[in-house]
Structure 1
Amino acid sequence: MSPSGSQLELHHGDYTAVVTEVGATLRELRVETRPLVVGFGPDEIRPAHRGAVLAPWPNRIADGRYSFGGVSRQLPVTEPARGNALHGLVTWVRWQVVEHEAGHAVLRHRLVPQPGYPHPLELTVRYRLDDDGLHWSVEASNTGDSAAPYGCAPHPYLVAGDGRVDDWTLELPASEYLEVTPDRLLPVERASVDGTALDFRDGRRVGDTFVDHAFTALGHDPDGRSRARLRDGTGQGVEMSWDATRCPWIQIHTGDRPGEAAHRAGMAVEPMTCPPDAFNSGTDVVALAPGASHQATWTISALSPSSH
């Protein structure tokens, strides 16, 4: 069996995708033969968090420690080099395949209460292809008897076309970002992108800019959706769109892995319900009441040169 479990192939029109059982991961997404995400092989262990679902929190929790409801908790430190609890509890678990048809798949995982997170959640991930691309949603239902802190995000590395991140243009409608500590990438304070190398509102070539920051104060189009667009030199590319009232934050990372083949081969674009270390700051954390549910959806679409 593949290290990532069952491989769920999806197709609709020119779009194809492969979703895996482990991590409810998006392993591949293509339009015709063109990749829209950095993928990995069916016989590989997933590299890092490439294409995974992040829940019940995205990004980092400092030292794995937080308090909620007046009780202090200690999570496993899963990013030991920086001393953080990283990207939730479900990236390496096996999800149950609930539905799988030509154009869609549904996976579910029942999160078991544990000392650092004593809240039973039923998590459901849905993937659906249509003419607009891939619609990817995460729903959490609190099946316990007390409120649970909650957040989520996806973790795809988007690919605009040929070349690497340096050669592409990023358009991101964010006017603020979180300054972070250089060693642990933990938040310091919100700052304006004005006059900085992190201002991508009008779209500009990434070049050698390093980005591993959370952005906020997101603009949106008339349909109410925010859009991050990545294009190559021909004008073709890929777009991530989402409802910023559900995900008012987005993490962008230029995929810097010096010495590795995947170095700056794709850009992580992660709409998030809350910022890094939110379980400590309380910023935009969802307090999921017993019996309540929360859902967030993102769409990945191909961009053609004519749509420039």
Structure 2
Amino acid sequence: MNVSTPGESHPPVTVQPWGNAPDGQPLFLYTLAGAGGLRAALTNFGAILVSLHAPDRAGVPADVVLGHDRAEPYFDPATSPYFGATIGRYGNRIRGGRFTLDGQVHQLALNNGPNALHGGPTGFHARVWEGRILGGPVPAVEFSYLSADGEEGYPGNVAARVTYTLTQDALVIDYAASTDAPTVLNLTNHTYWNLAGGERDVLDHELTLHADQITAVDETLIPTGELRPVAGTPLDFRTGRRIGERVNDEDEQLRFAGGYDHNFVLRGSGLRTVGELFDPTSGRVLTVQTTEPGVQFYSGNFLDGSIAGKGGQVYGHRWAACLETQHFPDSPGHPDFPNVVLRPGETFTSRTVYRCSVRA
């Protein structure tokens, strides 16, 4: 289906069947073609970003996100460790899978050692969303999902919505959510970025993060509560530095995570530029803007060559960088962290922009 008509100025959005979910629900692949040469593909399974084609400095496009050509590998965590997925209700980790809200204890599934991770085994990433093509001057698709009270142990019926918009030079992700009972919420996107087109690891990518601190973690990657300065450590990305430059340094934080897998405390508030990823070989630049207070930088430490992705490409160790804009991990256990409680009558909103450009 093509939703543009002759004479319209905006590029088309197309949608095609993409098989069925494990429970039989129909899946669809939505393709957004931007006027500036970007092209994105999305599916209503997990509200996943399946692909994003962006040109290099010579104008040659390549897919800069990891994932699969078919829907089925996304169903299995062994072949899709959250590739491109919308994460909820709570992105990142919660200690012991347990939190207390208004005096009531809520127990979640433990799916990451002793902790809860990314909303549980069947979190938002594993649900079938309702897709809707939006009209307007630029291509956009909205996904909506109603998470029932008690789903994965979380209280309240939560109506969640994520909208992907493809502008001339950026993929814009807008989140919104409301609830009928007090709950906790932390939404993010788990795209694995590889600006080299997925053909090699990202150790030569240069990363800049506008963050002076991290939320230091223990050996299970749960925040200790300390906001630790990055100055003088391998986690200092305040000026552009190769990901591989210090990833193997002898450092307790790196040892706990097997590399980078840390929440960086971002400077400022409101929608602002918080970081940049640059591949010197292709010239591609990914600039990240967000309204969120943190970003989880993950260096693909658990990728080990066991997953064959698009075109049969094997995804080896540190084959991608995730930049998951978010509230902080385990915030329900740290009252001094930015608030993640959502109450009836409130609407959670958040925006993240992944802007694509090139550098000579």
Give the alignment's TM-score, normalised by structure 2: 0.77
Structure 2 Cα separation of the partners of residues 156 and 238 of structure 1: 16
Structure 1 Cα separation of the partners of residues 69 and 50 of structure 2: 8
**What letter matches 1:85 in structure 2?**
A
| Cα drift, residue 86 of structure 1 | 1.0
Q: Tell me if structure 2 keeps the 8 A contact 1:157–1:268.
A: yes
Of the candidates 50, 57, 62, which is equivalent to residue 90 of structure 2?
57
| Cα drift, residue 179 of structure 1 | 1.8
Of structures 1 and 2, the larger Rg is shown by: 2
Residues paired across the two proteins, number: 296
Structure 2 Cα separation of the partners of residues 166 and 2 of structure 1: 35
Which consecutive residues of structure 2, in runs of 5 or more, have no partner in the other structure? 1-17, 22-26, 56-60, 75-79, 248-258, 307-313
| Cα drift, residue 240 of structure 1 | 4.1
Structure 2 match to 1:171: 208
CA 1:44/1:238 → structure 2, altered by over 3 Å: closer, same or farther? farther
Deviations 1:166-212 (A, max 9, x none): 11111111110122123x21112221000001101110111161211
Q: Residue 86 in 1 paired to residue 117 in 2?
A: yes
Name whichever of 203-212 and 99-108 sits farther off. 99-108
Q: Tell me if structure 2 keeps the 8 A contact 1:15–1:31.
A: yes
Structure 2 match to 1:97: 131
Tell me the secondary structure at the aligned position of residue 6 of structure 1: strand
Of the candidates 88, 91, 106, which is equivalent to residue 73 of structure 1?
106
Tell me the secondary structure at the aligned position of residue 73 of structure 2: coil
Structure 2 match to 1:181: 218
Tell me the secondary structure at the aligned position of residue 207 of structure 1: helix
Describe how 1:114-263 pairs up with structure 2 within 5 A.
114=150, 116-142=153-179, 144=180, 146-161=181-196, 163-182=200-219, 184-188=220-224, 189-207=226-244, 209=247, 210-218=259-267, 225-234=272-281, 236-243=283-290, 246-256=291-301, 257-260=303-306, 261-262=314-315, 263=317
Tell me the secondary structure at the aligned position of residue 203 of structure 2: helix
Give the alignment's TM-score, normalised by structure 1: 0.89
Tell me the secondary structure at the aligned position of residue 125 of structure 2: coil
Structure 2 Cα separation of the partners of residues 112 and 240 of structure 1: 35
Structure 2 Cα separation of the partners of residues 240 and 154 of structure 1: 15
Structure 2 Cα separation of the partners of residues 52 and 3 of structure 1: 17
CA 1:238/1:289 → structure 2, altered by over 3 Å: closer, same or farther? same
Structure 2 Cα separation of the partners of residues 284 and 219 of structure 1: 13
Name whichever of 115-124 and 15-24 sits farther off. 115-124
CA 1:31/1:205 → structure 2, altered by over 3 Å: closer, same or farther? same
| Cα drift, residue 148 of structure 1 | 2.2
CA 1:100/1:44 → structure 2, altered by over 3 Å: closer, same or farther? farther
| Cα drift, residue 20 of structure 1 | 0.8
Structure 2 Cα separation of the partners of residues 45 and 238 of structure 1: 29
CA 1:176/1:21 → structure 2, altered by over 3 Å: closer, same or farther? same
Structure 1 Cα separation of the partners of residues 115 and 168 of structure 2: 40
